[in-house]
Amino acid sequence: MRQSSDPVQERPARPLPTERPAGCPFDPPSELATLREEDPVSPMLYPDGHIGWLVTEHVLTRQVLADARFGARADLVHSPLPRAGAGGSVRRPAPPGVFSQMDPPQHTRYRRLLAGQFTVRRMRLLADNVREITAGRLDAMERQGPVVDLVEQYALPIPSLVICELLGVPYEDRDRFQHDTEVLMRMGTSREETIAAFVAVQEHMAELVAAKRAEPADDLLSDLVNGDGGLTDEELINVGGVLLAAGFETTANMIALGVFALLRHPDQLAVLRDGPGITELGHADPIVEELLRYLSVIPGTVRVAMEDVVLGGQEIKAGQSVTVSIPAANRDPEQFPDPDRLDFGRPVGGHVAFGHGIHQCLGQQLARVEMQIALPALFERFPGLRLAVPPEEVPMRTDMLIYGVHRLPVTWEPVA
């Protein structure tokens, strides 16, 4: 364990580890395990030169995310990964409505308005949509294949269609926003490209807000536009943008990487196929929760110390950024025995794949519903589904802010 007398100078600040071990596409960078063991609050060099901290222990991760002395304000945090071509050095207050990068009381106001929109009734309606959308995609795969790219044909369209349903975005618009959010999620995108993508999402949302004002429908955006929350057009546009950006890349990568992991763990795939199946939709069930823990597609999230704080024996100075590594926390052996094993028999719960505390994922029930329907349905329709390329040829998203696969070529025996 780290000695509390260790001066920071003796522990060189290193960038967030991103290099995954060769041949183990599902395992986090090995350096994270070493840090968790030896220095769970370690000095970290941020891409803009800031020296902050990296937290790798499960218990400390939850502590940071639940502690109001750590804020999420966009103008104060330093980005842990290179973004926007400027090394992530552009720090400005979050625009009105971008509540994921705000602290209370601003964050609380938006969060309350939105939580009231993610109702059980709406989730049930969406579950019916997810079933319909999933069946449609399976039919399309059957018509087209084998071989198909599972990302393009299944993993991406399902959450895209679902977020369209949720917000009331015409599905014809999906190519537009898929492209723009892809640009926003890529590491090392130039500043110009990032701005262009932001502007495009904003213009798109502005058109939608105007359309929902003129003709309200039964969707979340219409309710927000015409409800009594008192949101301005600018706020509505940005709230819509946040949901759009947060809502489908994450789920799409969980579905595609989840299928890859299942194909590489036949014993666990057998549990999905032959086991008790998925429990109540939207609730935590062992299979989806274990995939969320094991795969941890979001590399981390960042906070800033609003005052001097002692964390795990380490003094953090006010103004320093603290990145918590979600993959490291989710593979912490103190919390999950034999953490590198994908095991659907594990007790459910405790992972931080959806974060923790006041910013914990707003869309988690919806994401669960999507995975709980999409994963079993795929193997039911194609029981002999397998990779169409050697596993080492599957292109991994090591260049993206959200981990996963770029493509997943799959095949099956067509029915004669």
| Closer to ligand HEM by Cβ: residue 127 or 388 | 127
Min separation Cβ 292 and ligand HEM, Å:
6
| Closer to ligand HEM by Cβ: residue 366 or 388 | 366
Residues 100, 359 contacting (CB under 8 angstroms): yes
Residues 238, 353 contacting (CB under 8 angstroms): no
x/- map, 25-54, ligand HEM, by CB under 6 A? ------------------------------
Residue of 25, 47, 363, 409 that binds ligand HEM (CB under 6 A): 363
**201-216 burial code (b ≥16 CB/10 A, e <16):** bbebbbebbebbeeee
Written in H, E and C, the secondary structure of 124-167 is: HHHHHHHHHHHHHHHHHHHHHCCCEEHHHHHHCHHHHHHHHHHH
Task: Sort 410 into a burial class: Cβ within 10 Å, 0-12 / 13-18 / 19+.
Answer: buried
Min separation Cβ 10 and ligand HEM, Å:
31
Residues 394, 408 contacting (CB under 8 angstroms): yes
Task: Write out the two tokens for 315.
Answer: 């003094």
- Tell me 201's DSSP state: H
Min separation Cβ 141 and ligand HEM, Å:
21
Residue with tokens 């763990």: 265
Among the candidate windows 11-19, 35-43, 181-189, 351-359, which touches ligand HEM by CB under 6 A?
351-359
Task: Write out the two tokens for 269.
Answer: 């795939």
Residue of 297, 311, 328, 329 that binds ligand HEM (CB under 6 A): 297
Residue of 51, 140, 206, 361 that binds ligand HEM (CB under 6 A): 361
| Closer to ligand HEM by Cβ: residue 184 or 388 | 184
| Closer to ligand HEM by Cβ: residue 243 or 373 | 243
What is the rounded CA–CA span in Å between residue 144 and residue 146? 7
Compute φ and ψ for 89, nearest 5 degrees: -90, -5
Residue 395 Cα to chain centre, angstroms: 19
**Sign of torsion over alpha carbons 30, 31, 34, 39:** negative
Q: Which of 118, 94, 349, 134 is nearest to 223 (CA)?
A: 118
Task: Sort 416 into a burial class: Cβ within 10 Å, 0-12 / 13-18 / 19+.
Answer: exposed
Residues 319, 49 contacting (CB under 8 angstroms): no
Among the candidate windows 10-18, 203-211, 340-348, 352-360, which touches ligand HEM by CB under 6 A?
352-360
Min separation Cβ 345 and ligand HEM, Å:
22
Residue 387 Cα to chain centre, angstroms: 24
x/- map, 86-125, ligand HEM, by CB under 6 A? -------------xx----------x--------------
Min separation Cβ 169 and ligand HEM, Å:
12
- Tell me 171's DSSP state: G
| Closer to ligand HEM by Cβ: residue 70 or 412 | 70
What is the rounded CA–CA span in Å between residue 298 and residue 380? 28
| Closer to ligand HEM by Cβ: residue 55 or 297 | 297
Residue of 353, 369, 377, 378 that binds ligand HEM (CB under 6 A): 353
Q: Binding residues for ligand HEM, how many (CB under 6 A)?
A: 22
| Size (the chain), residues | 416
Verify binding: residue 301, ligand HEM, rule CB under 6 A: yes
Min separation Cβ 93 and ligand HEM, Å:
15
Q: Is the peptide bond before 369 cis (omega within 30 degrees of 0)?
A: no
x/- map, 225-254, ligand HEM, by CB under 6 A? -----------------xx--xx--xx--x
Min separation Cβ 301 and ligand HEM, Å:
3
Residue of 58, 137, 265, 359 that binds ligand HEM (CB under 6 A): 359
Residue of 367, 369, 408, 410 that binds ligand HEM (CB under 6 A): 367
Min separation Cβ 210 and ligand HEM, Å:
22
Verify binding: residue 355, ligand HEM, rule CB under 6 A: yes
Residue nearest to ligand HEM (CB): 363
Question: Cβ atoms within 10 A of the Cβ of 81, count?
Answer: 18
**Interface positions with ligand HEM (CB under 6 A):** 99-100, 111, 242-243, 246-247, 250-251, 254, 297-298, 301, 353-355, 359, 361-363, 366-367
